[in-house]
Amino acid sequence: MKTKPDVYEIVTERIIALLEAGTVPWRKPWKSQTGIPRNFVSRKAYRGINTLLLHCMNYESPCWLTYKQAEAKGGNVRKGEKACPVVFWKKLEIEDSQTQAKKEIAMIRYYHVFNVAQCDGLKFPETPAATTTDTTPIEAAHKIVDS
């Protein structure tokens, strides 16, 4: 019986493949000048490992979408194009049926996304939406980078 690979295996295999191809994913091999990767439909920026995985795909556009999102927008993914996995997770609160105690568990999934450059028939907005992050710079980290 074939089991579906878990998210951790998929991400690990992707990073190993990049390393074997001579790309060190954390050394900025990407070409994008337009900002961090974001979903074409929601315009939300990807975070965490997704940023690294999508940047390493070497597309100029930062916009990504699923196959279904491309179809819903009137476009299509070109035949033979390869998707990149992205990880989605959130915390779920569950209740123990015996003790009635509540606890949080992490739900993790992955989706396959395509860059808009891999699609035909999509209408692009005139100017990309500005992407902002809600992170606070860490002064100690900046000192390390500057040194």
pTM here is: 0.68
Q: Report the C-alpha gap between 107 and 87 in whole angstroms.
A: 11
Q: How many domains does the chain have?
A: 1
Q: Is residue 2 part of a domain?
A: no
Show the domain range for 122. Answer: 7-146
More confident call, 103 vs 129 = 103
Tell me how long the chain is: 147
Q: Is residue 51 part of a domain?
A: yes
Q: Is residue 87 part of a domain?
A: yes
Instruction: Give which of 72, 69, 74 is closest to 115, Cα–Cα.
Output: 69
Q: Is residue 127 part of a domain?
A: yes
Q: Report the C-alpha gap between 118 and 128 in whole angstroms.
A: 18
Q: Is residue 1 part of a domain?
A: no
pLDDT attached to residue 83 = 92
pLDDT attached to residue 15 = 81
Q: Is residue 126 part of a domain?
A: yes
DSSP per-residue letters across 128-142: PPP--------HHHH
DSSP per-residue letters across 4-61: PPPHHHHHHHHHHHHHHTT--GGG------S-S-EETTT-PBP-THHHHHHHTT--S-
pLDDT in tens, 4-61: 668 788 888 888 887 888 777 666 655 556 678 999 999 999 998 898 888 888 788 8
